[in-house]
Chain A
Amino acid sequence: MGLASLFCVELQKVRRSKILLIQIAATVILWLPAILNADLNFTMQAEGISPEHNFFIQGFLGMTWLLYPSVMVVVTVLLNQTERSGNGILKMLSLPVSTVRLCLVKFFVLAAFSIVQFLLAAGMYFLCVGIVSGMQGYDFSLSAWFVMKEVFVMWLTSIPMLAVFWLLAVCIRTPVFSVGIGLASVVPSILLINTRAWLIYPMAYPLFAVRSEYGKLAVNLTIRQFQILPWLPVAASITVFCLLLSCICFGRDVRKGKE
């Protein structure tokens, strides 16, 4: 089977998972306080950021710090558990499909859910801009091109993190550890973005990217800037390493008859 048709099969499997409801609820909770506290955007003179930029950045800071990584951990659980219950994975492995492809396609589904999460957030952002502009009598709108470009950068920087989560979900058989390590690894990123160590910590990448954009927009703040060069090779090698390892590990315990 080609990658495309495998991808469709995987999407079919999670059709009834209600994960979209969770993602939508998360997005609403993300933006609701932003609407209620919209007047705070006018008090940012010290940082030197315009209200419309502040509104955009604060919302996405909240998302990339905790909400987005933890929802992605939940999605890895979903992708794994649908397969494990009823020994679905055993049946998949007995099909004439390469396990490497199967593993990669599942990772692509994870990436697809992350795109959905960002699109939901962006859509909700545009909606909120409309509401807030009406409420405050001030035009909060930014160019759609700028917003979508930023959102795309955030998504791109989060791919290594997704690969790490996927590695955790595939290689660690006991769910308490894969979930626990995934969720717990999100928390230190808020400390690590202030140090040099962020470079080797994929969970901090999206947050660092948003914060560096914040530093660019707020003229009075000096925040470490995102530089492509040491980052790209590091991020790419982390991603490739995690994906390789997860492809090797995928279904290994089942093949060895441990489950």
Chain B
Amino acid sequence: MTGSRHGKNGLYLEGKKLKRTGFYPAFLAGGLLSAAFPVINLAVRPESFLSLEGSPFHILMQANWQLMAMINVLLVLTGACIMYHTEHSGNAILKMSSLPFREGSLFLGKALVMASVCAVVLLIEAASVLFCTIHWFGEEGMLPEVLIGFGFSFLMLLPALLCSLLIASVCKNMWVSLGIGVVCIFLATMLPKDDFVLSLFPFAMPFQEISGEIHKLLQQVPETVWKLSAAAGAESALFIVLEFVFLKVRRWF
């Protein structure tokens, strides 16, 4: 493999490795499950939501996002553990590292595959929320608002995604990485929501949401949204750097 083809091949290879692990059906099922929350909530007790004031998108996110985000984070964590479990079992990762193949591209390839699968999951959820706004609230023009909201959610999911991949790549045993991840997610649910510094914890970020009136959002984006987005970008970069440092340092032992 020549250097220029690393990136593309890495992505293709990582995608293909997951073919028989059930990774894709699991994400699809998870997406459908979390997309079911708002629909079921509205179908069972419409009166408690339809009477509320404000934008339908905001009402839906207020009522359902914490649980939907929980499903998303758990999916990301499980996915990351499985991705590296296939590498660690049978010492496949040692064989990978003896190939003329940069180890960092393994991580980046996995991250890209996972990010694209997460984008699909978020799109399913967005479609479900959009369906609810049209079917129950009778609002037709919510699409831009929903897209911006879920775009932000995607950005917020990235640090957790990269962090759990980093943990999974460091720990050889799946239960260790899974256990650390579960504890981190639990910690995220215990952190107070109003403290800005604490909300920067990578596993707490996916629980953030923006869902205001779209014209207001476009005119003046709230300051916290900027800050959170910048933090998500910085944390993502940090985890990638940490993974590369880990790959370098590991050789010394």
Contact = CB atoms under 8 A, between A and B. Distances in A.
Contact of B74 (A22, A30, A183): A183
B180 A176 contact: no
Contact of A66 (B29, B176, B186): B186
Given A77-B174, A85-B89, A187-B74, A175 B82 contact: yes
A17 B175 contact: yes
Mostly helix, strand, loop or mixed at chain A's interface?
Answer: helix
Interface residues of A, number: 35
Contacts of B70: 187
Contact of A180 (B67, B75, B173, B175): B75
B190 interface: yes
Nearest to A22: B179
A75 to B, nearest CB: 8
Interface in A1-60: 17-19, 22, 25-26, 29-30, 32-33
Mostly helix, strand, loop or mixed at chain B's interface?
Answer: helix
B44 to A, nearest CB: 8
Interface string A171-192: 0001111011001100110110
Interface of B: 21-23, 26, 29-30, 33, 37, 67, 70-71, 74-75, 77-79, 81-82, 85, 89, 173-176, 178-180, 182-183, 185-187, 189-191
28 contacts: A17-B175, A18-B176, A22-B176, A22-B179, A22-B180, A22-B182, A26-B186, A29-B186, A62-B190, A66-B189, A70-B185, A71-B183, A77-B174, A78-B173, A78-B175, A81-B175, A175-B81, A175-B85, A176-B23, A176-B82, A179-B81, A180-B30, A183-B78, A184-B74, A187-B70, A187-B71, A191-B37, A191-B67
